[in-house]
Amino acid sequence: MNDIQDRLPEDWKLKTIDDLSVRVGSGVTPRGGSEVYTHEGVLFVRSQNVHFNGLDLSDVAYIDQKTHDSMQASEIFPQDVLFNITGASIGRCCTVPDGIGLANVNQHVCSIRLSKPCAHDAMFLSTVLSSFIGQNQVLRFNAGGNREGLNYQQLRSFQIPWPPGAQRKVIAEILSTVDRAIEQTEAAIAKQQRIKTGLMQDLLTRGIDEHGNLRSAQTHQFKDSPLGRIPVEWEVKTLNSCVKDNAPICYGILMPGTGYDNGIPVIKVKDIIGGRIIQKSLLLTDPRIDREYKRSKLKQGDLLITIRGTTGRIALVPLELNGANITQDTARVRLKNEHSNSFFYFLMQSKGVQDQVLLHTLGQAVKGINIAEVKKIAFGLPGKDEQIEVADRLNELEGSLSNTERRLQKLCSLKAALMQDLLRGKKRVTSLLE
């Protein structure tokens, strides 16, 4: 930390948490453990509730008043800073908000109470602890340890850049403004994802009529099928019946090899995330190996489905991966021209298809679904014109969601840059105080 001290502005101090606080301590697990948790009463905050963006009380436990009274030393109050000191979430921290009411913590969560508690100082301290400054100290104390954990003495020794009070307030307000924008964007993403899930379910089971309206049982005819009720215009098809005759569903290279600088890109299961192929980590294989697996060579628009490990991930092959290949953990599906690749991209992510994949995924150490079962995946299928209309609507929604996700990435990058500059005094806020 000396390098940070050397670069601090002259009017800043380097303090320890011990200098700044009147209490650093955690709670305990009540006698009886989770058996004594109640459905209401006093909030009992555990490590899973403490996140960098605030308290997540969606899975909060409660304890009764008697248990809380026996743990009064670890009661928490607004403007306390909570810090996870053990486990996989070590280092996560946030402030206790106003209006929380009676609350306590278990042994995995440490509360830090400032000598002169106020909202902006608590936010400033929490921000420093969540930044590279605090997280590097977490790593330093845990280097070489067999168990992730910090004790109170170590946490008290954490060094914190501490500007004058007016500057702390402005810095906290700036970063809080960015945090609010991040929270609002995350909420927008969650809402768009819920809309997308609901619209996919409707469009892929009821479709769109000739007037562009979603079909309903009140206005359109439906028929019974092995998959349930489907529009009378639709047919029940298997995936195998929809692929080109000269390009059967197949898996890829068994032993692709590694270390080739100018080889052929090979797509692995972990490269397929969120419906996209992440190209920065693609394996390159020897062209001679690739030539042995001509059957699984890829063309733009091919549909990929993961069949081993994490099964059921879906992606479409983009133009830049034309001629690439896949590993044995992924299957290639090349559709007939009478079908829309984009429609099948969404169809294969639908609950009905994913449930079939899950049903036939077997194995202990490494789970998988074999090609024969992939071929038998069944679904209700409209004609190509309707497939295109459905895909266009879902693509529009997915595009909006992608734009919001990119906005979130920019906000997170902005916050990281501001934290780097503001918490070391590299960018001064003194001009804002004049």
> At CA 90, angle to CA 89 and CA 92, rounded to 5?
75
Q: pLDDT for 44-80, tens place per residue?
A: 999 999 999 899 998 899 999 999 999 999 999 999 9
* Spatial distance between the Cα atoms of 187 and 189, rounded to a whole number of angstroms: 5
Around Cβ 405, how many Cβ atoms within 10 Å? 17
**Model pTM?**
0.81
* Strand 330-333 versus strand 250-251 pairing type: antiparallel
For helices 119-130 and 165-205, what crossing angle results, to 10°?
Answer: 70
In our burial notation (b when 16+ CB lie closer than 10 A, e otherwise), range 70-89 reads ebeebbbeebbbbbbbbeeb
Q: What is the structure's pLDDT at 146?
A: 47
Residue listed under structure tokens 């000598």: 115
List domains and CATH numbers for the chain: 2-162 (3.90.220.20), 163-234+383-434 (1.10.287.1120), 236-381 (3.90.220.20)
C-alpha to C-alpha distances, 400 to 44, 304, 388, 395, 403, nearest whole angstrom:
38, 23, 18, 9, 5
Residue from 5, 420, 397 nearest 202 by CA: 397
C-alpha to C-alpha distances, 327 to 202, 279, 285, nearest whole angstrom:
34, 15, 10
DSSP assignment of 310-329 equals STT-EEEPPGGGTT-EEBTT
> At CA 154, angle to CA 153 and CA 160, rounded to 5?
110
Min mean pLDDT across 131-145, 242-256, 382-396 is at: 131-145
pLDDT class for 6, splitting at 50, 70, 90? Answer: low
Flag whether pLDDT at 2 surpasses 60: no
* Spatial distance between the Cα atoms of 48 and 51, rounded to a whole number of angstroms: 8
- How many Cα atoms occupy the beta-carbon half-sphere of 378 within 13 Å? 11
Q: pLDDT for 209-222, tens place per residue?
A: 999 999 999 999 99
Q: What are phi and psi of 156, to 5 degrees?
A: -65, -25
Q: What average pLDDT does the structure give for the chain?
A: 92
Q: What is the structure's pLDDT at 142?
A: 82
- How many Cα atoms occupy the beta-carbon half-sphere of 79 within 13 Å? 12
Q: pLDDT for 399-412, tens place per residue?
A: 999 999 999 999 99
3-state SS track over 182-195: HHHHHHHHHHHHHH
Q: pLDDT for 22-53, tens place per residue?
A: 999 998 888 777 788 988 999 999 999 999 98
